[in-house]
Amino acid sequence: MKETVSQSFHIWTLSLLLLLLLQLQLSKSNHIIPGFCVGVYGESECGDLSSSFLSSSSSSSKLLIKGGIVVNAHHQLVADVYIENGIIVSVQPNIKVGDDVRVLDAIGKYVMPGGIDPHTHLGMEFMGTETIDDFFSGQAAALAGGTTMHIDFVIPVDGSLTAGFEVYTEKAKRSCMDYGFHMAITKWDEVVARDMEVMVKEKGINSFKFFLAYKGSLMISDELLLQGFKKCKSLGALAMVHAENGDAVAEGQRRMIDLGITGPEGHALSRPPELEGEATSRAIRLAGFVNTPLYVVHVMSIDAMEEIAKAHKSGQKVVGEPVVSGLVLDDSWLWDNDFSTAAKYVMSPPIRKRGHDKALQAALSTKILQLVGTDHCTFNSTQKALGIDDFRKIPNGVNGIEERMHLIWDTMVESGQISVTDYVRITSTECAQIFNIYPKKGAVLAGSDADIIILNPNSSFEISARSHHSRSDTNVYEGRRGKGKVEVTIAGGKVVWEHDELNVVPGSGRYIEMPPFGHLFNGIDKVDAAYMSSLHAPVQRSRTAS
């Protein structure tokens, strides 16, 4: 009997050791860090084994957020928020609930809609490599930072929208939060025109992006741009542009190489603000010619911002989207003596000289610019080193999906430039309204999806590559500290971020379809009618014999 017990004990011990070794191997292979606990298809995969088992209350379908300051884009009040089965049921003071409801104390804290990032690139193949963050790691990082939905850009495969959509649908199978898609247009023919209709009417895409930069790969001509604008208008889809003059950028790159400037600083020098301003102006004027709304992504310069301001004064519907890097950084790091440090700041359009950041902040506070994205497009230091001898080969992109909510609070709210309600507007509500998913998203209202954050204005944060949840080994906001921390993130009614720990499951995210003809299309027909009546043409003329 003793021998049998001894054998059983040894077998049990060996099994435990094998399990621990497997756990260690999984942690290494998936870059899991302490405090990052991930439920993988019903199993646990954690950096800190002490936190590997979720409490039953974390997965409860009923939640009550008690006593917080509930903030929406247009008002705030002290109230409770009751959630059931992923939907907000009630927002009012002193809600009474039963014992089967998990209660979260939010007294003295802000209860807000989760952030919506309108501009990301997860799992994107670009410049001979692929972004280090996929639809799981990038979304996990987003949730840790208080963003509960993002809209990613589908890149066509050899110009095919259908093939591109299928590829990205596959990429997104590991999603752990809600997401939507924009679609890029990289060529033009009747197949593309028909596929645009399919994307809008059957696939839930209501926006198309046109690159005026990246000559030889993604860049399109003005002729194609006009055709695309016309098709967007007819479908009720929002036209988006990456606004840089690609021909002039190519010339600027040649100029830098001829001067022997091959390092990361050459990237910024080859594509100055004037080229962003010119392309922004051209896109705005062509959109005005077609009379369709326009969305300018990653506005990085005073030059581009001023073109948007002029368009607003003339009554044109143009949305300007700054990104976090342009709002809080300047280009000084591109001249760092260490290549790895300098290269991590390479993105397009470039991060600009000091002064552009403050001007963009002011434009955001006065509604010249409407909402904040990230252009999260991460490459690690090894990938960035592909351009160690030629800045043209450095993969373009920086992080931001996890840092956006904290940095905007600290930069814009703590400084007094915007109100708390404006913070909700520029990080969530405006995006939901522009892409026609409000109030399902972007609001803490009865009937809205339970995507909510609890932000403590008195807590502080610090950013570091050692503690972030991106797979990248660098962070362009390294060492940045500030006030205002997202302490709890609720996505789809589930607590996914609490006590600095993530509890997320690959495959739990949902694809959110976005219908066409959002509010930006209101009144377009009246402008068309006014234009037609202003022509006073055709003039009826009599033919006279010579």
Q: pLDDT of 425-461, one tens digit each?
A: 999 999 999 999 999 999 999 999 999 999 999 999 9
Identify the CA nearest to 51 among candidates 502, 468, 471, 508: 502
Residue 49's pLDDT is 25
Return the number of other C-beta atoms located less than 10 Å from residue 479's C-beta: 9
Total structural domains within the chain: 1
Which of 51-65, 144-158, 289-303, 463-477 shows the lowest mean pLDDT across its residues? 51-65
CA-based diameter of the chain, in Å?
125
Owning domain of residue 331: 114-444+458-477
Indicate whether 344 belongs to any domain: yes
Please state, in angstroms and rounded to a whole number, the distance separating the CA atoms of residues 485 and 112.
12
Structure tokens at 472: 């990248």
Indicate whether 6 belongs to any domain: no
Is residue 15 pLDDT above 80, yes or no? no
Structure tokens at 334: 């591109």
Please state, in angstroms and rounded to a whole number, the distance separating the CA atoms of residues 296 and 313.
16
DSSP string, 494-543: EEEEETTEEEE-TT---B----S--GGGTTHHHHHHHHHHHS--SPP---
Residue 59's pLDDT is 52
pLDDT band, very low/low/confident/very high, at 512 (cuts 50, 70, 90): very high
Query: Mean pLDDT, to the nearest integer, of 304-322?
Result: 98
Identify the CA nearest to 61 among candidates 450, 502, 442, 446: 450
Query: How far is residue 365 from each of residues 144, 149, 321, 357, 401, measured CA to CA in Å?
Result: 26, 23, 13, 12, 21
Query: Mean pLDDT, to the nearest integer, of 469-494?
Result: 98
DSSP state of 398: B
Is residue 31 pLDDT above 60, yes or no? no
Backbone angles phi, psi at 68, to 5 degrees: -85, 170
Query: Mean pLDDT, to the nearest integer, of 464-478?
Result: 98
Indicate whether 484 belongs to any domain: no
Is residue 37 pLDDT above 90, yes or no? no
Structure tokens at 188: 């033009």
Return the bridge partners of 113, or none: 452
Tracing tokens 């989207």 back to the chain, one arrives at 321
Tracing tokens 């209101």 back to the chain, one arrives at 522
Residue 3's pLDDT is 44
Residue 141 contacts residue 170 (beta carbons within 8 Å): no
Which of 7-16, 154-163, 188-197 shows the lowest mean pLDDT across its residues? 7-16
- Pairwise pLDDT comparison (41 vs 178), residue with the higher score: 178
Indicate whether 252 belongs to any domain: yes
Query: What's the burial of 165, exposed, middle or buried (CB within 10 Å: 0-12/13-18/19+)?
Result: buried
pLDDT band, very low/low/confident/very high, at 544 (cuts 50, 70, 90): confident
Residue 45's pLDDT is 38
∠ CA 526-528-532, rounded to 5°: 115
Indicate whether 388 belongs to any domain: yes
Identify the CA nearest to 111 among candidates 74, 143, 78, 150: 78
Indicate whether 383 belongs to any domain: yes
Indicate whether 337 belongs to any domain: yes
Query: What is the overall mean pLDDT for the chain?
Result: 91
DSSP strands (E only) in 215-362: 238-242, 294-296, 318-320
Structure tokens at 86: 């992923």
Query: Mean pLDDT, to the nearest integer, of 262-273?
Result: 98
Q: Write out pLDDT tens, residues 61-99.
A: 899 999 999 999 999 999 999 999 999 999 999 999 999
Sheet strands side by side (includes 238-242): 115-120, 147-154, 178-185, 207-211, 238-242, 294-296, 318-320
Q: Write out pLDDT tens, residues 388-412.
A: 999 999 999 999 999 999 999 999 9
H-assigned helices in 366-498: 381-384, 404-408, 420-424, 430-434
Please state, in angstroms and rounded to a whole number, the distance separating the CA atoms of residues 105 and 69.
11
Is residue 186 pLDDT above 90, yes or no? yes
Identify the CA nearest to 445 among candidates 104, 18, 72, 66: 72
Please state, in angstroms and rounded to a whole number, the distance separating the CA atoms of residues 123 and 131.
5
Residue 546's pLDDT is 61
DSSP state of 157: B
Structure tokens at 298: 């990653």
Please state, in angstroms and rounded to a whole number, the distance separating the CA atoms of residues 116 and 443.
11
Which of 1-15, 104-118, 215-229, 404-418 shows the lowest mean pLDDT across its residues? 1-15
Share of the chain above pLDDT 90, in %: 88
**Which CATH number does the domain housing residue 462 bear?**
3.20.20.140
Which of 9-23, 227-241, 367-381 shows the lowest mean pLDDT across its residues? 9-23
pLDDT band, very low/low/confident/very high, at 543 (cuts 50, 70, 90): confident
Indicate whether 121 belongs to any domain: yes
List Cβ neighbours of 346 (8 Å cut-off, separation of 6 or more). Answer: 264, 267, 334, 384, 387, 391, 394, 395, 396, 397, 398
Return the number of other C-beta atoms located less than 10 Å from residue 292's C-beta: 23
Please state, in angstroms and rounded to a whole number, the distance separating the CA atoms of residues 114 and 453.
5
What does the H/E/C string look like for 321-341?
CCEHHHHHCCHHHHHCCCHHH
